[in-house]
Amino acid sequence: MEDNLEQFHTESIPDKVETEKRPGFLRFVIDVLETLILSVILFAAINTVSARIRVDGSSMEPTLHSGEFVIVNKLSYKFSEPMIGDVIVFHFPRDPEQEYIKRVIGLPGERVEIRDGDVYVNDRPIEEDYIAADPAYDIISEVPEDSLFVLGDNRNNSSDSHNWGPVPLDFVVGKAVFVYWPPTEWGFIDHPPVAIAAP
């Protein structure tokens, strides 16, 4: 009788341990799945309202430098219109797979002229304290109603609208707002209101 009782206890102990382990393992699996699902949702939400790009080249110096990483607000122009002086990210019209970053100089329907190192919008000169040097080229461009005229701040070392024309509004990704890498360059990107001389 005692032998049978001991055998009964010996067989029942592993079953009890196994029963206790299962809920703990299932809880762990559920926690992992919940974390993964939440991460995917957050990632999708962040990508809906923002983008991240790497500055490649010197065309936006001294405002932005090659190798910096920038956060782009993709909702900026859902609720407002671009303004002269805004730094924007857009799909390159000649190769939409590429993304460029430049400054808005001409709005839809405006006339942009560059002559003798000065930029004119609708025949009025604009003041630009953010450029590396005065442009060493001349150009006249009538901006279509559905487009923007953009230039790099490093005017004489930039591939921009003075080379390949205006950017369709549909190609605009958003407004560049913040440099987040490297840490030494953290900060908001300057979008100064551009002063246009009175007529």
Asked if 102 is an active-site residue, the reply is yes
User: Of 59, 76, 147, 158, which one is the catalytic site residue?
Assistant: 59
Q: Which amino acid belongs to residue 62?
A: P
Residue at token pair 């926690």 = 31
Asked if 59 is an active-site residue, the reply is yes
User: Of 74, 78, 80, 102, which one is the catalytic site residue?
Assistant: 102
> Which residues belong to the active site?
59, 102
